[in-house]
Structure 1
Amino acid sequence: MNEPNTIDRAMHWVGSISSLFAIVSLALLVILVAAVIVLRQFGIIVPSADEFASIALAGTFTLGLAYAVARNEHIEIRLMVNLMPRPLQFVLGLLAILLSIVMVLVLSWGIGRLWLDAFRRGAMMLGTLPIPRAIPLSVVLTGLILFEAALLLKLFRFVTGRQADEPEAGAANING
């Protein structure tokens, strides 16, 4: 494979940051669940455990999206596309990436507006502890921004011909 260029290095950086955040989020979720289980044996209830768990779970999911794209370890179904001529494969691949970019941009815009509204109003989550609603929204928004960055880098990689033909080892790729 060619030496890494600026796009490859940026993709690696976005994937690494995304991975680090997702790992921290997952570790917090595991610690919280373990604490709830252990403390319940002593009759101690962790206040707002469900809310904290939902934030950590949302973070684990959304923060891991950019990592999957950066490593090319996402699910691709190429069954019919592989049977088409190369120029048509390129057009369909380009359309798929562009559609993904637009969908994530729209979702990020919507979550961003919800975050701004929650931040301005000081809205709180429902639960025992007063947790600002902007916190879980910022976790999800951060994941979506990193995901959008990874998709844009994937687009640059794709149009410059540096797109990897096959995913990294261990990736789910359904080919026909």
Structure 2
Amino acid sequence: MIRRFLDALYLGAGILAGLFLVAIFLLMMGLSVGREFGLNIPAGDDFTAWSLVAMAFLGLAHTFKRGEMIRVGLLLERLHGRKKQIAEIVSLTVAAAFIGYFAWQAWTLAFDSWRFGDMSQGVVVVPLWIPQAGYVLGLAVLFIAVLDELVVVLQGRRPTYEQEPPATPDELVERIASGGGV
């Protein structure tokens, strides 16, 4: 039950990130094409920037859980068995601490923006907590995903972000060609 909820949470955040990517495309196309016809999207640059931040942060957890996030695994790849598990636990614990702190500070920033009524300074005035919400939500979901992986590793299972090694040379070539990890 919890596993299905968490997987849906990560997928939902990934879908939201994708929707923000589409919004960025539409805004940029609207700004570019509009320039040719003398049309302007008020605060289009602001909305594009806010969408970019939301897309980047909302996509983190989904990317992490699918094993697509860039990680420096030079040490972990060389370890096996119990030593690897301990190293994974340490790295996930440190990651959880940093991401948790980052998420808390992001929440504090957004809450203060809401509490003090901070507004954007652009052509279209928007309460700042609204664009900050994507940033906060993305970090919170990433924090949950890292804790989820920590629990998985503490239970002695292989992390879900760790892909099985390629079974054949053809599979290795296919992974590299598609931009996936090895």
Query: Is the 8 Å Cα contact of residues 66 and 160 (structure 2) preserved in structure 1?
Result: no
Moved more, 93-102 or 74-83: 74-83
Structure 1 residues 113 and 54, CA gap change in structure 2 (3 angstroms): same
Query: Is the 8 Å Cα contact of residues 31 and 41 (structure 2) preserved in structure 1?
Result: yes
Deviations 1:96-120 (A, max 9, x none): 1111111111111111111111101
Paired position in structure 2 for 1:167 = 163
- TM-score by length of structure 2 reads 0.83
Q: Residue 98 in 1 paired to residue 77 in 2?
A: no
Structure 1 residues 16 and 48, CA gap change in structure 2 (3 angstroms): same
- SS of the residue aligned with 1:77? coil
- SS of the residue aligned with 2:150? helix
> For the residues of structure 2 that align with 1:111 and 1:164, how far apart are their CA atoms?
27
Paired position in structure 2 for 1:3 = none
Paired position in structure 2 for 1:9 = 4
TM alignment of 1:17-56, pairs within 5 A: 17-56=12-51
Counterpart pick for 2:149 among 137, 143, 154: 154
Identity among equivalent pairs (%):
24
Structure 1 residues 10 and 156, CA gap change in structure 2 (3 angstroms): farther
Query: Is the 8 Å Cα contact of residues 73 and 171 (structure 1) preserved in structure 2?
Result: no
- TM-score by length of structure 1 reads 0.86
> For the residues of structure 2 that align with 1:135 and 1:171, how far apart are their CA atoms?
34
In the TM superposition, residue 14 of structure 1 has moved relative to its aligned partner by 2.3
Query: Is the 8 Å Cα contact of residues 149 and 160 (structure 2) preserved in structure 1?
Result: no
Count of aligned residue pairs for this structure pair: 169
Paired position in structure 1 for 2:72 = 77
Q: Give, as a single letter, the amino acid of the residue that structure 2 aligns with 1:167.
A: Q
Structure 1 residues 84 and 19, CA gap change in structure 2 (3 angstroms): closer
- Supply the RMSD in Å over aligned alpha carbons: 2.1
Query: Is the 8 Å Cα contact of residues 7 and 153 (structure 1) preserved in structure 2?
Result: no
Runs of 5+ in structure 1 lacking a partner? 1-5
Runs of 5+ in structure 2 lacking a partner? 165-174
Paired position in structure 1 for 2:57 = 62
